[in-house]
Structures are given as C-alpha cells and as structure tokens.
Structure 1
C-alpha cells in the first residue's frame, strides 16, 4: 500500500483525567512531546496526518498536520475521534494511533498494511492483547460508524466486530504498545526505554 492511499490519525482528543486533566499529547516523554513521537511513526508512510484534538489547537498546529476537533463535542471517546478522522480523510485508508504510546514500532504502518489482506480493518495485537486504537481502517466504513454512533455505540471493539477484521501480530515488540495513562506509567516507561 502506497503512502498516497493512507492518512494518519493521531487520537489526542481525550480529557487526560488520569494525568490530572492535562492534555496528554503535550506531555513530555524523553524530552519530546508525546504528539511528536506519534507523528514520527506516521510521517514516512502516509499522505497526510490529522491530529484529533479537542483543545490546545494552537499548540498542536505548526507540526505538519491538520488539527481537527471531534465532529460532535462532549468528549465522547476514541470512536468519535475515529469517525472524525474517517470523515475528514481524503484517502481510502486511515491508520489510527493514540497520542500516548510513544514507543510504537517504527515499522508499525507497513506491518499493518502487510497484514491487512482482504479485510476492512487491521488491528495491532501484542501477543497478549489487542490494541483497538492502533489500526488501519478502510475509510468507506465512515457511514456505518456514523450510524453506530447515532445508535449510542461507543465501544471500538464492538464496532470492529461488525466488519471484516484481522489482528496483526506484533508479539515480537509488546513493549511498543505501552500507553501512558498516569505519571507513574510515564516514569516507568522512560526508565525502561532509556536503559
């Protein structure tokens, strides 16, 4: 799959409740904002990057990405962010990553694309558990997702289950999917990553 066929989507629209309400994408990890780690993983492989953010737009702008707020407000969760990305993307595929997983594999995007086969969604699996917010999604599913949201669906895995889904094996690098929900998570991963 060529870069021209893919849009990157970084989910940075949460409230950061377990981080004291701070905007997680702007938190520092190894002296670099978390958002930059996500952008670094996507840039070589996609045509455009969208940052889904519901605040701090000035801080996110100027990073070589289009900053987009949830189409419907109220912090409705990552599925709303995914729908926003699918709605606004201009390519047939959207690769989704969270802003708070700074050590995602460098080859994440080509591995998801290679594992897709004839499916509509390829989701990362670290050998122990799936990571629904790390996925390659066919953009033409946008209307179905909009309908699911209108029906009250907010669980990513339940919506994925409605479609041709495959899991892509990343069991060789499970630490790559660590996400930082708390200060303790961040300190622990920084120690492990810099050793």
Structure 2
C-alpha cells in the first residue's frame, strides 16, 4: 500500500487543467437494477447533486452512462458510453472519459457519492507535483475509495490494455500506473458514502447544504 500524503491546503491550480467525469454506467443491481444516477435525493437526481459538487472544481464535466440517455440529455448532459466495453465495469467508463478528455488530468467520481468534498479536486491535484503521473486516490481514514480518483490522461493506454486482456479492476490499473493515497479523514465520515441500498439512500437524505 502506498504511503498517504497530507492533502495540500495551498491554492488550486486553474480548474482548466482537470476534466470531471461522473460515472453513471453501473447496473445498480443491489437496488433492483435501478439507474442510480436518476435516483432522487432531496428532490434532485443523484447525478445532478454530484454534478453540482464537481462543476465548481473542474473545467469540462463529462457523464458516462449506458442507458436512459434521453433522460440524462433532458437534465442537460451529453452522455458518453462504454462503446465496445459494455458491462466491463468502471474501467470502461474511465476509458470513455480519457478518450474524451482534453486536459492533462481526469477526476472521476461515481454518481452515487452525493457528499463529495468541495475541495476534492484541489487536494488531489496538489498532493504531488503537477507532472507526477501517479494517480491520486482519496483515503477517508479507514479505506481508499478507488472509484473516486484523479487520473493522468496518459493512463489511457494502460486502461485499454487492461480491458483488452479482460481486466475489470481499478486497483489493478492503479498498480500498473502507480498511485498515492491522499488523506481526507478530516472531511467527515460521510464525505465518500455511496448508495447501494434503499437504506443508504434514506441515510444520506439531508437538508440542502450551502453552496
């Protein structure tokens, strides 16, 4: 396991250096195959809640989805799909995002993490030198959140190689390209909570947070 670095409190680089990617291509099997991005939390689809938290942190913001594309378009998104890698898990979404990415870095986050830190991008980006090609993964004090990560655009080749060889694991990708964990324990117990069951959805319902 890599050592953890302290999240850097210095001012962020221009957000134009990072493209955001919301991953909404999963099956939602533990929720009865529901499309998680369209689940309502406090009156808003999850995808919009996550987008609001990411949009202020990044430059372009992309959405990876494989179904209900018309509904996502109605919400203002233009989804990118997994193409030839349907049902290949988050690696396929990362590939789609990296293909569409026009910035040096891609910040990916799942659509079911509605309480992501508002300084997530800044702290991941500044955890190492800007040109350090290692991925950066948040650590909440107990575990790493591999589906929420900052990837260099140059990782596309390793992602495609993994998919071609039948790989599906983000952790295997991280070991191939190198990565560091970034300590977000101070962000609170629910910062990286995600929704897999109706009970999870109910537990994360809360009054709207200030912008």
Normalising by structure 1, we get a TM-score of 0.93
Residues 35-64 of structure 1: CA deviation (Å, up to 9, x unaligned): 011101111122211110001111111545
CA distance in 1, matches of 2:39, 2:103: 30
Greater RCO (CA < 8 Å, at least 6 residues apart):
2
Preserved contact between residue 127 and residue 171 of structure 1 (Cα < 8 Å): yes
Map 1:139-158; keep pairs closer than 5 Å. 139-158=153-172
Does residue 138 (structure 1) correspond to residue 152 (structure 2)? The answer is yes
Q: 1:55 aligns with which of 67, 81, 93?
A: 67
Q: Secondary structure at the match of 1:175?
A: coil
Unaligned 5+ residue runs, structure 2?
Answer: 1-12
Aligned to 2:194, the other structure's residue is in SS state coil
Alignment size in residue pairs: 193
* TM-score relative to the length of structure 2: 0.86
Unpaired segments of 5 or more residues in structure 1?
Answer: none
The structure 2 residue matched to 1:78, chosen from 78, 85, 90, is: 90
Structure with greater proportional strand content: 1
The separation in 2 between residues aligned to 1:106 and 1:114, in whole angstroms, is 14
Runs (4+) of structure 1 exceeding 6 A deviation are none
Q: Superposition RMSD on alpha carbons, in Å?
A: 1.6
